[in-house]
Chains A and B, each alone.
Chain A
Amino acid sequence: NAGVTQTPKFRVLKTGQSMTLLCAQDMNHEYMYWYRQDPGMGLRLIHYSVGEGTTAKGEVPDGYNVSRLKKQNFLLGLESAAPSQTSVYFCASSPLGLAGVFGPGTRLTVT
């Protein structure tokens, strides 16, 4: 039981490049979330999913897209990276009404 895993752990992008962050969970959780964490800002919700094939916008969705084609995977895409997207990205999953389980994070730098 690996819990929540994130790929990659670190990435450096140039402005305008695109990339996809992968989140995988093996706990059969329905809900999955993508957060970003910035100094002094706490964790802010980017997008979330309440089940396979569903996605919805969170607090700071601009510049990101997501997909949940399989229940265990939640992908976060950056179409055209900007320096403002330099952050640490966390994925989380949870069953209905219970504790959230977080991945180890992806540290992204956009130059």
Chain B
Amino acid sequence: KQEVTQIPAALSVPEGENLVLNCSFTDSAIYNLQWFRQDPGKGLTSLLLIQSSQREQTSGRLNASLDKSSGRSTLYIAASQPGDSATYLCAVRGTQGAQKLVFGQGTRLTINP
């Protein structure tokens, strides 16, 4: 059974810092990995999707890497801003059947002005 873990559960940093959020998964047989952002009381917004054959994806100040063999992904946020404050979730999609997404519990990020 796939298990996804995100560390840390919460992170608070001053504005302007570069930071890294971590995601690990137990089964390396994945189709892809997706990073989401969730604001309080809101739905999930997809940030980046990395296919299993890729090593990284970039979007603006965000860069996500994937090391499938070690079961790890990182989300790098450059020059953090207060507007980046949210919960960040990673999810892996399996290769079998309905390719279900399995989620980590998220990292709650606070950027202090």
Contacts and interface: CB of A to CB of B under 8 A. Distances in A.
Interface of A: 31, 33, 35, 40-45, 48-50, 56, 58, 90, 92, 94, 96-105
Contact of A42 (B31, B34, B104): B104
Interface string B97-111: 111111111100000
A97 B98 contact: no
Q: Interface residues of B: mostly helix, strand, loop or mixed?
A: strand
Given A42-B106, A43-B89, A101 B46 contact: yes
A103 B45 CA distance: 9
A50 B97 contact: yes
A interface majority secondary structure: strand
B43 A104 contact: yes
10 contacts: A33-B98, A41-B105, A42-B89, A43-B91, A97-B51, A97-B93, A98-B49, A100-B101, A101-B46, A105-B43
Interface string B22-34: 0000000001101
